[in-house]
Amino acid sequence: MSITAMTSKEVTLKIFNREKLFILDVRNEGDFQDWKIEGENFTHLNVPYFDLLDGVEGILDQIPGDEEILVVCAKEGSSIFVAEMLSEKGLNVSYLQGGMKTWSEHLEPVKVGDLQDGGEIYQFVRIGKGCLSYMAISNGEAAIIDSTRMTEVYTDFAKKMGATIKHVFDTHLHADHISGGRTIAEQTGATYWLPPKDAEEVTFSYSRLEEGNDVWIGHTKIAIQPVYSPGHTIGSTSFVIDDRYLLTGDILFIDSIGRPDLAGKAEDWVVDLRETLYKRYQELSDELIVLPAHFMIVEELNENGSVSEKLGALYARNHGLNIENEADFRKAVTENLPPQPNAYEEIRETNMGKINPDIEKQREMEIGPNRCAVR
């Protein structure tokens, strides 16, 4: 039997299509428990490769004979090593090309809807980390929101769509991933917008993203209206695009809400977060389609792999929007929080331009799940 490489894209489509997959993850137990590939119909077995150096005989009875099998490791070397041994035992197996390192970087563009003038809005699903970024295209002009550091994916996509990138936004200073916003702006001549309250310490020039200053793309003027919505950071700003889509950044997710502690100011920002979720967003139309900057669990994915829901539906269902008592709310968002994202302080400094780690270091800083939410 021979072994084959499975790409991150193929695995992503299996998640979107709710297919079955048996994953033998050969990373060490700690890394596996911290972060793994999840799909609704995926099953897992974690046995570190170093426990299989003398052979795979000991685990054969735990591997199903009638399912597709994928061996996964950090960078691919160990998964090939283990896959080859399984193949010698007569099993048909694949390994994840590039390992979790490549998985962490894979972006899958999914169309989330049309704009009124014929334009379109796309969501870029970073399936391995749960990060979501966006591109709105209208009449040959594009705007990008919350881009990751894999900037070529966006610039290539815009090119394919025949659009010129005019505006690049970050809804806030990110702590879980390195922003590609500044790089894209530099490469394309686009304007880079940041909320000034999050940008006090940045080392580069930017345009001030403030409520009331609408930005337009396309000839028929698609409005991108900033809505000041502090709470995850003091500057956090949402966007209403084309009067239909509400991009909530890290303030509101489908099944959870933003956490206020990643800049060390949980106590200060709880009040802002409450105000944004229970007052400012309440005043917006229930019909707005919420497009968040993250998802946490695969159950949040829609049929086509996108992540979105009407604001009204979230007010009905999202636990974080239904905590009547203010003291209970404070407790929910400041106590028993999940661990902070890997290297979040260094990531913030990188996004401020204070440090310039090389690409290997950036990959290492971003490894793992995003953990920006409170459920």
Shortest Cβ 343–another protein spacing (Å) = 13
Instruction: Note if 131 is an active site residue.
Output: no
Question: Is residue 50 at the binding interface for another protein, with CB under 8 A as the rule?
Answer: yes
88 binds another protein (CB under 8 A): no
Using only the alpha carbons of the chain, give its radius of gyration.
21
Q: Please tell me whether residue 31 binds another protein under the rule CB under 8 A.
A: yes
Closest C-alpha to 246, from 230, 224, 231: 224
Q: State the minimum distance, in angstroms, from the CB of residue 51 to another protein.
A: 6
At CA 62, angle to CA 58 and CA 65, rounded to 5?
A: 115
Q: Is 246 in the site for another protein (CB under 8 A)?
A: no
What number of chain residues touch another protein (CB under 8 A)? 16
Q: For the CB of residue 273, give the shortest distance to another protein in the complex, in Å.
A: 35
Among 55, 58, 77, 338, binds another protein (CB under 8 A): 77
Catalytic residue, chosen from 6, 73, 178, 190, is 73
Reference 266, options 336, 370, 365, 197; nearest CA is 336
Quickly count: other Cβ atoms within 10 Å of residue 83's Cβ. Answer: 29
Closer to another protein at the Cβ: 33 or 116?
33
Q: Which of 12, 78, 236, 350 binds another protein (CB under 8 A)?
A: 78
Q: Which of 4, 18, 43, 53 binds another protein (CB under 8 A)?
A: 53
The tokens of 320 are what? 């974080």
Which residue's CB is nearer to another protein, number 97 or number 155? 97
DSSP characters over 190-250: PEEEE-GGG-TT-SS--EE--TT--EEETTTTEEEEEEE--SSSSS-EEEEETTTEEEEET
Looking up tokens 């099944």 gives 255
Using CA atoms, how far residue 61 sits from 26, 57, 65, 72, 86, in Å, is 16, 8, 9, 19, 12
Question: Amino acid identity, residue 184?
Answer: I
Is 333 within 8 Å of 273 (Cβ atoms)?
A: yes
Residues 171-190 that bind another protein (CB under 8 A): none
Closer residue to another protein, CB minimum distance, 10 or 31: 31
The rounded Cα 114 to chain-centroid distance in angstroms is 22
CA 244/CA 335 separation, integer angstroms: 35
Tell me if 73 contacts another protein by CB under 8 A. Answer: yes
Q: How far apart are CA 125 and CA 103, in angstroms?
A: 12
Nearer to another protein, 36 or 274 (CB): 36
Q: Show the binding pattern over residues 341-370: x = contacts another protein (CB under 8 A), - = does not.
A: -----------------------x------
* Binding segment (CB under 8 A) for another protein, from list 27-35, 55-63, 108-116, 184-192: 27-35
Bridge partners, 126 (sequence order): 131
Q: Is 49 near another protein (CB under 8 A)?
A: yes
Q: Does 67 bind another protein (CB under 8 A)?
A: no
Closest separation between CB of residue 82 and another protein, Å? 8
Q: Does 57 interact with another protein (rule: CB under 8 A)?
A: no
Contacting residue, 5, 44, 81, 150, with another protein by CB under 8 A = 81
Closest approach of Cβ 49 to another protein, in Å?
Answer: 5
The pair of structure tokens assigned to 362 is 């950036």
CB atoms under 10 Å from CB of 339, counted, come to 10
Of the candidates 258, 205, 211, 208, the residue with the CA atom closest to the CA atom of residue 233 = 258
Minimum CB separation of residue 34 from another protein in Å reads: 10
Which helix (H) or strand (E) segment holds residue 344: the answer is helix 344-351
Spatial distance between the Cα atoms of 356 and 372, rounded to a whole number of angstroms: 23
Q: Which of 9, 75, 265, 319 binds another protein (CB under 8 A)?
A: 75
Least distance to another protein from the beta carbon of 54, Å? 9
Residues near another protein, by CB under 8 A:
28-31, 48-51, 53, 73-75, 77-78, 81, 364
Active-site amino acid positions: 73
